[in-house]
Structure 1
């Protein structure tokens, strides 16, 4: 690995303090980004029903113009979601020139579509073949600060919209392709006045854009190949570190400048898709890898700078997840991985606590799970692509509490769900669903 060309190692003056777990109060309905308010997919409490179907606990359903793998986000009384049409979305749609992305705004109360901002493709995309057919052209989850909504559409760049759907700016973050031509999936994140975009596939770089104007504030180029995850922001004394997992390395950067503060080496090779998982007492966990998956526990020790050295690696394990990001609770990591196994890993040792087959391969082929679990109190909400949503007990003893399906929808459910107050939002390639009790 080669660190960013604009970066050198800076002092890591104090121990990282992990961001507080997401907590949605009775009045806190916002789910403004991928994996929720703090990027940990954790909700302290919400009265999400244990069971639902086409006829039970379904508050509303809205058909979408096209498919997508991005997650819904929520700000106030509005829900935002992306999809695509025109190319690869249905039989006969074989002209790449007709590819259009959509940013939709819906009413949280009843699912009514308030507006549909259409974005024609600004550059030639990777063709709709191979792995692209598994996730498509609307995979990055948007993010909002409550005043604007920001989206990343790969080779068509990053964009900002006001709450009425007017496009405010559009900035290219490169139009290249990785060697495998898989497209990209990392979601943008906000930090202060900056929109941070992982454009590893498009230009082997991270970008920070002025969220008001779209101007590039910094661009950190480097060997980002196979780093597909959404960047994390971890709190440290006096600020934050921007942290990204790459094959063989973990980088901690200054989010204000893009300069490297520290890095740690690990044994996880190949592409890294899941996001970093923060634990307790300065620990973090990464998963992924190719051709074999691994998970790694690391300690970000106080006073470190530059190379954290081999002491940073606490453990490495073959129990892992290739696409879904695990969640952390009370010293354990939980996930139903892309192979369909429910895993519980001891976060202190890396030992597997349980490994149980839950989901089989998706009907029509492909991996059974893409979505990441969301922890709601003592339950894990785990969405499979074609076999429904599994509710597991979030404890070190395996317990499947329920399985819930929409029999009328046979398309893929690729997206991680969102929680808004006591509502659960699920999206498929066909529709957006709102689940709750009346």
Structure 2
């Protein structure tokens, strides 16, 4: 399998209940778009500069840290277990609870780094925190670490997936939504977040050829004029579903133009009220459409579609990292190239080289800066706007497959070895 990664990405989530700008309650941030309203964020750091603290982790993990108030939540390999850790914003561990008895490292990607069942990100509503392990164990705890409920998602079919399960359930208004997509099941599922009980499940078919059923992306919630909808991305399609019963409303097609069997989705769509940008993989197309009023098949013949860009010398679909939008520019990154395109047309504004290494963690933006992390601990900092300007390249001595988190003036990185707090306070 070419350049497969396997996701960390991990990672996360969808919209949770409203939170203050200082919180980061899900892997894509307060508004599920990778944005932070924080100001005066650090531009430069190293292991000796602007490190507020670092905390040794019990094992590897690739879930984006989530933050609520003075608490940070991450999952981690812990011996033979997957554990949920609660760490204070002072850098001290508050508590640790077992999520799963399967903490074994099982998967290796072409970058040479092992990945584990501690790859999904947590989500919180400020009262409870939900953690998911690649073994299928999904658990809810209160913020003091007391177990509320636990379930095994393999009840929907024994996991059959080449590089492990890394999806993050999305939390939205009292429900958890999952896309359970592997060679043993192709489902979207809604659970009651307070009890874990099933609300509904719905078959979500795809081509199911070769690798296509192996899905490493996570679901999202779209909130728009005629929403909300559950957005599921995998098995050669991106689909929108009613939250009431999982009925499909629209489907983006043509993402696997040659019906190749060597295909799998890892990158997540950018989901905004007036724009959804859908990446594919392995130099396939990238599609953008207006989800307001969208129905049926999203193709070039559907008025909802805004642009569809095939691979070219100046444009490559993101293979792992989700796109991000600032104003009228959409930014995309691969394993080195960084591309800015017009949000309405897909026209390339610029394409520049960043750190040439595998990129697995999501980008984040705050204080007019886009933070682009690579797995070798290097983060490029790019100024927002239509003119390319790299402000800094910073390195931490760690392996980082998780996306970064911005909260209360700090940037948090979950490395395989340490949890890092970067900032000046």
When the two structures are superposed, what TM-score results if normalisation uses the length of structure 1? Answer: 0.82
Distance 1:296 1:58, change over 3 A: same
Q: 2:75 aligns with which of 82, 85, 109?
A: 82
Distance 1:423 1:431, change over 3 A: same
Q: 1:233 aligns with which of 217, 221, 231?
A: 221
Equivalent pairs counted in the alignment come to 389
Distance 1:128 1:278, change over 3 A: closer
In the alignment, is residue 55 of structure 1 matched against residue 55 of structure 2? no
Inter-partner Cα distance in structure 2 for 1:130 and 1:360: 17
Inter-partner Cα distance in structure 1 for 2:82 and 2:324: 30
Of 235-244 and 33-42, deviating more is: 235-244
Q: How do residues 29-428 of structure 1 correspond to structure 2 at under 5 angstroms?
A: 29-86=22-79, 99-108=80-89, 110-121=90-101, 127-129=106-108, 134-174=114-154, 176-178=158-160, 181-201=162-182, 203-223=185-205, 225-237=213-225, 239-268=227-256, 270-279=263-272, 282-290=274-282, 292-302=283-293, 304-308=294-298, 310-311=301-302, 312-317=304-309, 318=311, 319=315, 320-337=317-334, 339-361=335-357, 368-406=358-396, 409=397, 411-428=398-415
Gaps of 5+ in 2: 1-13, 207-212, 258-262
SS of residue in 2 equivalent to 1:140: coil
Distance apart, 1:253 and its partner CA: 0.6
Distance apart, 1:134 and its partner CA: 4.1
Gaps of 5+ in 1: 1-18, 87-98, 362-367
Distance 1:248 1:352, change over 3 A: same
Q: For the Cα contact (< 8 Å) 1:274–1:288, is it kept in 2?
A: yes
Q: For the Cα contact (< 8 Å) 2:338–2:353, is it kept in 1?
A: yes
SS of residue in 2 equivalent to 1:155: coil
When the two structures are superposed, what TM-score results if normalisation uses the length of structure 2? Answer: 0.84
Inter-partner Cα distance in structure 1 for 2:19 and 2:351: 31
- CA offsets 1:372-424 (integer angstroms, 9 cap, x no match): 11011311011111151110011122111011122xx2x31111111112111
- CA offsets 1:91-117 (integer angstroms, 9 cap, x no match): xxxxxxxx3101000111x11000011
Inter-partner Cα distance in structure 2 for 1:126 and 1:67: 9
Inter-partner Cα distance in structure 1 for 2:329 and 2:151: 40
In the alignment, is residue 437 of structure 1 matched against residue 419 of structure 2? no
Distance 1:23 1:351, change over 3 A: farther
- CA offsets 1:255-286 (integer angstroms, 9 cap, x no match): 23222223232334632222221357x32101
CA RMSD between the two structures: 2.6
- CA offsets 1:321-341 (integer angstroms, 9 cap, x no match): 10011101122111332x211
Inter-partner Cα distance in structure 2 for 1:104 and 1:387: 22
